[in-house]
Amino acid sequence: MAKKALGPATLAVVQAVEAVADAPLLVACSGGPDSLALALAAHIAAARRGVDVRAAIVDHGLQPGSDTVAATVAEQLAGRGVSAVVLTVTVPDSPDGTEAAARQARYAALEAEARPDELILLGHTLDDQAETVLLGLARGSGTRSLAGMPTRRGVFVRPLLGLRAAQTAQACAELGVEPWRDPHNDEPRFTRVRVRRQVLPLLEAELGPGIAEALARTAGLARRDADLLDQLAADHQLPAVGAPFAVAELAGLPAAIRGRVLRSWLRAAGATDLSATHLDAVDALLDDWRGQRWVELPGVRVSRRGGGLWAESSTPGTFGPQD
């Protein structure tokens, strides 16, 4: 009996995976439409390419019965020939919020589970990319934020960034599987949910169709620019930790490069959670110097004296003479 032809949506997902399936694959699968379609398409693509594939379901323990959901997803995948493992994580309290803490815990668990030769596939779609760009725009945090999610970073690969969420949902229907619907995806207290349910549909209604695709294109263009600027900044040698950064040297850099160089220098000195506002305050020590005493940042205190900028522990101490 001839094999049943793949439906158009399933074929699109399989082809997206085939474009990156040059190594064994570990698919992160929550059981939702995007990741379930990805896992099953990866199973097909891996068979065609002669590589191994398996799945990992991360149980964050944030909802009652999450362990049951994870076990059910693993059974569903096993019934389709995809071996799966459930990874249980603890999500700590974080000033960045539950979503960010859960993401960090999930990625750490996936990296720990992955074998040395495996790529970790993530099910983010073009819709997710559009949401990410809008959130970055709302934060006003610069080109890198507008660049969205990369197709590949280290062992993490997002093969579905060119596909819409409607296609992954249709692929699940074509494959005859029922995805799990995460109730958190309908919780308006989450900013991303409001963007997905309210902001993007409003933009589509008021500005016309194609907004999500336009935002995804913006991400690609911004990423190219940000990558170049990051490389130019990385080529600039930083002073040794504990040494001052010459004001004249910094002031002579183009603003787009200077901000990146400052961020790298401050991080090396121990600064954390740097925002654009923090960097603007430090930049003012260069081009708007009025004898201000210092700038407090998370983890460090930056002062200007002796023709240089000094980044020192924010613990009160002795500071030398100012310019």
DSSP code of 85? Answer: E
- pLDDT computed for residue 315 by the predictor: 57
Decide: 237 and 207 in contact? Cβ < 8 Å.
Answer: no
Q: Residues 99, 111: contact at Cβ < 8 Å?
A: no
Between CA 284 and CA 168 the distance in angstroms is 48
CA distances to 3, 128, 148, 297, 304 from 320, rounded to whole Å, are 78, 50, 42, 19, 9
Q: What is the pLDDT of residue 177?
A: 95
Go through the chain and tell me how many residues it has: 323
Lookup: tokens for 292:
């201000």
Domains identified in the chain and CATH numbers? 8-216 (3.40.50.620), 245-313 (no CATH)
| φ, ψ at 320 (rounded to 5°) | -75, -175
DSSP 178-226: -----GGGG-TTSHHHHIIIIIHHHHHHHH-S-HHHHHHHHHHHHHHHH
Binding residues for ATP are 30-35
Q: Are strands 300-305 and 295-297 parallel, antiparallel or unpaired?
A: antiparallel
Tell me the two tokens of residue 29: 């699968």
Tokens of 196: 């997905």
* Cα atoms in the Cβ-side hemisphere of radius 13 Å centred on 127: 18
Binding residues: 30-35
pLDDT at 321: 38
Query: Do the bridges between strand 245-246 and strand 308-313 make them parallel or antiparallel, or are there none, so unpaired?
Result: antiparallel
Q: pLDDT tens string for the chain (323 positions)?
A: 346 789 999 999 999 999 998 899 999 999 999 999 999 999 999 999 999 999 999 999 888 889 999 999 999 999 999 999 999 998 887 766 777 888 999 999 999 999 999 999 999 999 999 999 999 888 776 788 899 999 999 999 999 999 999 999 999 999 999 999 888 778 888 888 999 999 999 999 999 899 999 999 999 999 999 999 999 999 999 999 889 999 999 999 999 999 999 999 999 999 988 888 889 999 999 988 888 788 999 999 999 998 999 999 865 443 433 44
**What span, in angstroms and rounded, lies between the C-alpha atoms of 251 and 269?**
19
DSSP summary character for residue 76: H
- In angstroms, the CA 116 to CA 120 distance is 11
* Alpha helices in 51-97, H assignment, sequence order: 66-79
152-180 burial code (b ≥16 CB/10 A, e <16): eeebbbbbbbbbbbebbbbbbbbbebebb
Q: List Cβ neighbours of 138 (8 Å cut-off, separation of 6 or more).
A: none
